[in-house]
Amino acid sequence: MPSSELFFPICYMGHWFLFIVDIANHCFVYLDSLYSEDSSYHLDIKDRLVSNFKNLWRKIVPNAERTNFNNFMILYPPVPKQTNLDDCGVFVMKCIELWHYGADLQNYFSHEDIPNIRMKYANGLYFSLVNQVNTSLVIKLCCGGRLFFTDNLVTCYLFLCHC
C-alpha cells in the first residue's frame, strides 16, 4: 500500500524539526519541539520548504500536475517541548515514530521521557542484529557484566550519558 505521508527530518541552523507532507489530508505539517509557528526561525523557512518541495515534486513525480499543493493547509500541531538545546534530534525521531494525522503528541511523551527514549534508541541501534560492530567490550564494561532487560533491549548504564 503506498504511503500518503512523506517525512522530512530537517536540520536548519543546528536545530532538528520534522516537516511532513500529508497528501491524504492535504496539509504540510511542521513538528518542532523548540520553535513555534510565529518564531522568526519558522517565518524564515516555512514558505521556502513548501516551495522547494513543490518544485522538486513536479520534477520527480509523473503527472505531478494532478496534485494541487496550493490548497494544502499548513499545520503546527502541539508537540512536547524540549527544555534544552540538545534533544531536538531525539524529539524528531519520536515524532516520526508516533505521528498520525490528528495526533496530539503531548499525550504520548514529554521532555522528561527523553533520557529513556535516547537510551532505547541507542541500545536498539548498538545491539541490533544487523549491527556488525563487536559489542563484547561494551557488554563486559557495562554494569559489571550484569545485563538488565527492558522492552527486549539490553539496557546499560553506559548509554545513560548523552552521546
Q: Concatenate the DSSP letters of all residues of 103-125 into one string.
A: --GGGT--GGGHHHHHHHHHHHH
Q: What is the pLDDT of residues 29-61, one digit of tens each?
A: 999 999 999 999 999 899 999 999 999 998 888
Q: Which three cell numbers stand for residue 40?
A: 522568526
Where do the domains of the chain lie? 1-106, 110-163
Amino acid identity of residue 100, one-letter, is H
Considering only the top CATH level, what class is 1-106?
Answer: alpha beta
Q: For residue 122, what pLDDT band results from cuts at 50, 70 and 90?
A: confident
For 62, half-sphere exposure in the C-beta direction (CA atoms, 13 angstrom radius) is 0
d(CA 136, CA 116): 23
Rg (CA), the chain: 19
Q: For residue 132, what pLDDT band results from cuts at 50, 70 and 90?
A: confident
The DSSP symbol for 49 reads H
Q: What is the pLDDT of residues 61-114, one digit of tens each?
A: 877 667 889 999 999 999 999 999 999 999 999 999 999 999 999 999 999 999
